[in-house]
Structure 1
Amino acid sequence: KEELLYYLLSPKFLDLIILPTEKCNFRCRYCYESFSIGKMGQQVVNGIVNLIKARAPSLDLLTIHFFGGEPLLAHSHIVQICRASMAAMEMGKFSYYAMATTNGYLLTQERADLYYSIGLKRYQITFDGTKNVHDLWRAKYGGGGTFDTIWSNLKGLRALPHDLDVLVRLHLMPGR
């Protein structure tokens, strides 16, 4: 208990959970989001970068978790925040880890390669059952299946020479 409390209150640790956009390229049948908020403003991104820079001298560990909506729709914000985190880490000599909960549709080899170079090395990607079930429940905005592209992107990640951490979740429900 005391160790957890120390971690939560210590200036040596900074754990950021960032929603760079509420927008999504899917229209899952069970989703409750309205998608009206949109992308995080540049002032907020600048504020996050400034917070990281200000805290860097006292940090032992910085963790960042991107989620959404679909966070990879805010690619430029992710790149800016992660690059700033890498630069601060080099100056501050702390450990830094970044991860994203993503639908995987936009996680191409090229993006994963760039993300790896700026510290984003962990991903959580979810399937909703078999291809037919998944495509029914997790269709693209505008219609169409998503399973094949996600699966192809996962195979592309595996082909990269990097040590990526990818958690694949599978949602199974009776009748689906």
Structure 2
Amino acid sequence: MNDKTEKDVINFIRKIVLDKNPEYIYLNFIGGEPTLHTDKMIRIMAACNKLNKSFYFSAVSNGTFGNIKKIEELLHLGLNDYFITLDGAQKDHDKYRVYESGMGSFSTIIRNLKRIQEKFPEIKIKLNSNLNDDNKNHVTELLDVLEEKEIKYPLVFSKVISTANGKFDKTIEDNDSFWYIAHKQAIHRGYKFKPYGREINLACMMKQTNCYIIGADGFLFSCIEAVGMNEFRQAHINDYGSAMFEIIRSQAQNIGYAYDTCASCTFLPNCDGGCYYKRSHDDFKCPKTDFKNNGLMIIKEIFEVKS
């Protein structure tokens, strides 16, 4: 994001606040790696805080962090919530998340988590482990490391989603039960988390009227997974307030479900025919079996353990 777009983003947020007068604004920084651009984050957050509204700041990070002092500065401005990804245990994680030198980042992340847990207990961190065919059988190894290092942050598991440019050959199919198995293993280790399915309609940002996904170029996108893709690109933030801006936005929010056969499905209100982004570039697969057998089962498991 260049300096001009940064100023445009601040002005866009200011316009939203003045126009809609929201009681609460949730602002999430995501990349790429947002902590590589902490100066921009600091300037945006400082400008937001001057608006005298209730802002809640969070960031999605790879957990490597460059400067612990910057974390302290971000915390002072109100950023106390991070979502950090571990792609499984070390041998699996270090296949995918490496430095330019080729060295894996797992050890660095674990060390940083420990430091933040001790130095900044007020910071809330949620750990996410992306499940794929490489690491789905090694969940217990990741749990062992977290337990050994006494890292007590909440843990969730997600299934990797392929991109439109190419299918990730390690993607787990929607009817695979490993999402359920992973959470079950974590539950019985005493971990607290809020499992979710990415296809659930109510959680889809594409359907939220007051949700804005801003790309680094200042354009809005209708799906967080599709930033940079022309078919998901909406108006520019500088067009806010124009009739065309509202028309383009409403088109994405009114996208219907996948096939006519979905209309008679009792599970339709939950999934709306599945993830629009996924079915826009992949063969349609009904997620009903996965949600019924695994999503509902994991909820049952939570209540059983708590009781």
Same fold (TM > 0.5): yes
Q: Does 1:133 align with 2:92?
A: yes
Deviation at 1:162, TM superposition (A): 4.5
- SS of the equivalent of 2:30 reads strand
Structure 2 residue aligned with 1:64:
27
Q: Does 1:155 align with 2:118?
A: no
Aligned equivalents of 1:162, 1:107: Cα separation in 2: 19
Aligned equivalents of 2:67, 2:114: Cα separation in 1: 10
- Structure-to-structure mapping, 1:1-176, within 5 angstroms: 40-57=1-18, 58-89=21-52, 94-106=53-65, 108-176=67-135
Preserved contact between residue 36 and residue 66 of structure 2 (Cα < 8 Å) = no
Preserved contact between residue 109 and residue 160 of structure 1 (Cα < 8 Å) = no
**Equivalent pairs: percent with the same residue?**
26
Aligned equivalents of 2:3, 2:63: Cα separation in 1: 24
Preserved contact between residue 108 and residue 153 of structure 1 (Cα < 8 Å) = no
- SS of the equivalent of 1:68 reads coil
One-letter code aligned to 2:51: A
Q: Which moved more, 1:159-168 or 1:53-62?
A: 53-62
- Structure 1 length-normalised TM: 0.68
- SS of the equivalent of 1:88 reads coil
State which structure, 1 or 2, has the greater radius of gyration over its C-alpha atoms: 2
Aligned equivalents of 1:54, 1:173: Cα separation in 2: 41
Higher relative contact order (CA 8 A, sep 6+): 1
Structure 2 residues without counterparts, runs of 5 or longer: 136-307
Aligned Cα RMSD in Å? 1.8
Which is richer in strand?
Answer: 1
Deviation at 1:128, TM superposition (A): 1.0
